[in-house]
């Protein structure tokens, strides 16, 4: 495996680990902790996901550079593009809508209903995580 593909594989698995840990562990468990109210959980979630998405963008650049300087083949590149597109939709389309809703909830306008927009974010995580796994595995197999 060339150096570029090695860097891309490592960054891909770090990215995947962060998505799994935060989106599929921290986020749902946070609201089960004693004393965590909806507004407090939303405040924490906003900070955590801002940090996660910022790191994801950096890791996407690292993976892209690694892929660009290596010779990874088509499979890992396609899987990486799927992950980046999922992230882009989350950042450009879904996150602004979630931010608007969380601002309303934090201002006291909580209606007790779950946000359907949140389900789109989760759906995109369910696309992004397997895409990262496939990209990483294909890079290692290369």
Give CA angle at 93 (77, 66), nearest 5°: 20
Owning domain of residue 90: 3-141
* Residue 60: closest CA among 92, 82, 37: 82
pLDDT at 127: 98
Report whether pLDDT(115) > 80: no
Residue-wise pLDDT for 2-59, tens only, equals: 999 999 999 999 999 999 999 999 998 988 899 998 888 888 999 999 999 999 999 9
Give CA angle at 11 (49, 95), nearest 5°: 20
Cβ atoms of 115 and 98 closer than 8 Å: yes
Length of the chain: 142
pLDDT at 112: 66
Residue 83 φ then ψ, to 5°? -65, -45
For residue 12, CA distances in Å to 15, 65, 126 come to 5, 12, 16
pTM listed for this prediction: 0.92
Number of domains in the chain: 1
* Residue 115: closest CA among 103, 127, 125: 103
């Amino acid at each position: 495996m060339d150096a570029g593909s090695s860097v891309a594989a490592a960054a891909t698995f770090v990215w995947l680990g962060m998505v799994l840990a935060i989106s599929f562990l921290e986020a749902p468990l946070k609201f089960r902790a004693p004393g965590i109210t909806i507004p407090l959980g939303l405040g924490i979630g906003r900070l955590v996901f801002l940090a996660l998405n910022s790191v994801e963008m950096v890791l996407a650049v690292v993976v892209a550079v690694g892929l660009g300087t290596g010779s990874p083949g088509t499979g890992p590149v396609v899987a990486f593009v799927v992950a980046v597109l999922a992230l882009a939709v989350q950042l450009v389309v879904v996150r602004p809508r979630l931010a608007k809703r969380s601002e309303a909830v934090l201002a006291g306008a909580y209606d007790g209903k779950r946000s359907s927009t949140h389900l789109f974010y989760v759906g995109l995580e369910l696309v992004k995580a397997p895409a990262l796994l496939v990209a990483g595995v294909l890079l290692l197999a290369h």
